[in-house]
Amino acid sequence: MRTPARHRRTRAVPIAIAVAVAAGAGGVCLGLRPGDANAATTVTVSSTAQLETAVKNASAGTTIRIRGGTYYPTATLKSTANGTSADRITLAAYGGEQVKVDGSKLPDGSWLAGIYGDHWTVQNITWQNSPAQGFVATSSVGGVFKNLVTANNGDSGFTLRGDGTTNNLIQNLDSHGNYDPAGHGRNADGLAVKFGSGTGNKVTGARLSDNSDDGMDLWQFSSPVTIEHSWAYGNGKNRWNDTAFEGNGNGFKLGGGGATAAHVVNNDAAWNNSLHGFTENSNTGAIQLDRNTAYANTASGYYVATGTARLGKNLAVKNGTGPAELGSSTVSAGNTWDSGIATPSFTSTDATTAYGARRSNGSLPATTFLTTGSTTIGSTMN
């Protein structure tokens, strides 16, 4: 899964680029003078061609600022360039402007974006309508992927994959409506961290909803991933009138494919999924699940039947086949299904506010849905 280009740690010589903003935005040239220190590294784009060129030519220290609008690339936006911890490569919306990158003009089977480099920051962009995956980062080191939307793509919305995938942060991702018609829905997850390894990867503040397969899938990822303050709901439902539909519909699928990893799952919530809220999926690693909430999932709230997981202070209510299906090697203590533990009442079971707009900094919306006021058990829903 690794790409030879990632091992080339030499810094490319920057090319001075000054891109004029479209006349509708004032026609101001935002490039700096060639003699300035940052002249080669800040590029402002306002057309699809400019965006394609800027991504292709990025090098350590490049910042690409995208003006508001919708962009329609005709080939995958791809880069093998590496940033460094001191000189990152940044791809982001200009200011507070709304940017959408739309894959509806791509050839069948194409990804919308493929990054094969280290130390990228990608933020405040919607990636939508790809014929295949929306956004894919392969063997990324030190990536920051923040305030993104991946929607209505023809496979998984956001994918982090490959060996050497280390110290990446996925923060405030909304990934919804992804569906793979060729696979009848069995592959398209909201967020996939799969087919690889590497420590220090963290997901926080994600909403993973209404995808044909799972909300989050850690299939064949053999190193621990931390997942916190994230929600998965409405996954695995056939919204596409596919008569041969095969989507699973777990909220959080925490392994599978023979990989063993002690993932850490804290303060998350899964509701209204068509299978389990949380499942080990035959991952025999020592998964830790603490202070999560599973509500009204079609199967069990927590399915941990074969592994050595530890579950503590989790809440489960109204799941179809029961609160938890646990194996003999699982440690369960202080959860609402354990002896002597009371199930607190929900403040609200109206999810309307949870589906609303995020806060101005990109964090999850304020909600009383599935909150209990408890300081000891269940997700705090924030």
Structure tokens at 255: 């392994």
Question: Could you give the C-alpha distances from 52 to 13, 144, 222, in angstroms and in order?
Answer: 19, 21, 34
DSSP 54: H
Residues involved in catalysis? 253
d(CA 322, CA 317): 8
- Write 347-351 long-range contacts (CB < 8 A, 24+): 347/371, 347/372, 347/373, 349/295, 351/233, 351/271
**Edge-to-edge order in the sheet of strand 216-217:** 77-79, 113-115, 135-138, 158-162, 191-196, 216-217, 252-253, 278-279, 302-304, 324-326
What is the phi-psi region of residue 185: left when phi exceeds 0, alpha when psi lies from -120 to 50, beta otherwise? left
Question: Could you give the C-alpha distances from 207 to 114, 149, 317, 320, in angstroms and in order?
Answer: 22, 10, 20, 22
Measured in degrees and rounded to the nearest 5, phi and psi for residue 155 equal -160, -160
d(CA 303, CA 305): 6
